[in-house]
Amino acid sequence: MMDLTSKTILITGAARGIGASAANICSRAGATVILHASGPSDAAEKAAAGARQKMDDFLFEDFSTDGAGFRLFERALKKAGAIDGVVNNAGAFTPSPLSGDINEWNDGWTRAMSVNVQAPADICRAAIEHFRESGAGGTIINVASRAGHRGDGVENAAYAASKGAVLAMTKTWARGLASEGILLYAIAPGWVETRMAPQDIAAREAAVTEIPLGRVAQPGEVAEMIAFLLSGACPSATGATFDINGASYVR
């Protein structure tokens, strides 16, 4: 297990799936974790227990609202005093259908950009400012998607575009900030066993068929990679994107 003792890590979207697994694994590795979710839920309460915290320890912010990313980081910093790493995991899968009601199209693009791009970008900016002020550097991990590389279904362009933006901003800041000890990595999962994975039997079979490994990834697999990157074991990998997709998309 990675040693994250003395590190304080902000993890967004920590109520379930990859975020909850990352919180659990980072906590067990010795980190102090600051948990975020959009709102209270039974899943958040369970995730808090898994990270050896209480429901009251969660910071709730709806990333579809203006300024939510900045507010969250300010609250996290006030709570912890200092932050060593950020995991931008929260995201929304919003359809942007080419046919049908134009309002659904507009809503899909607006929500995808707000939740998947603007909020994590704002958190990155706030974190970078904090890392610069502390002089100690820091680590940011942005969870993107396989869709950011290869695209997605024809009705889901907004989601794919938002994840492509996450990859681009991660590379940009990694190139520009490495000399200051500020490291950024991206993770691009394919299907992961979360709420976003296909639940319909036929859709699940179709999804698995295109995965040479023969199964979707488990949240814990992604979380283990997150913990490794947070550990500082390989700073030279800054700027890299780690594909976790069972060889369904090999670059």
Q: Which residues are catalytic?
A: 159
Locate all alpha helices (DSSP H) within 36-85, ordered by sequence. Answer: 42-50, 68-80
What is the rounded CA–CA span in Å between residue 62 and residue 47? Answer: 18
What is the rounded CA–CA span in Å between residue 241 and residue 221? Answer: 15
Amino acid at 109: W
Residue showing tokens 């049908």: 100
Residue showing tokens 């912890």: 80
What's the number of CA atoms in the CB half-sphere (13 Å) around residue 140? Answer: 31
What is the rounded CA–CA span in Å between residue 105 and residue 14? Answer: 28
Residue 8 Ramachandran class (φ > 0 left, ψ -120 to 50 alpha, else beta):
beta
- A 10 A CB-CB count for 151 gives 15
CA 191 to chain centre: 14
Q: Is the dihedral of CA 223, 114, 207, 184 positive or negative?
A: negative
β-sheet with 8-11: strand ranges across: 59-60, 32-37, 8-11, 85-88, 138-143, 182-189, 241-244
14, 89 in Cβ contact below 8 A? yes
Structure tokens given for 165 = 């933006």
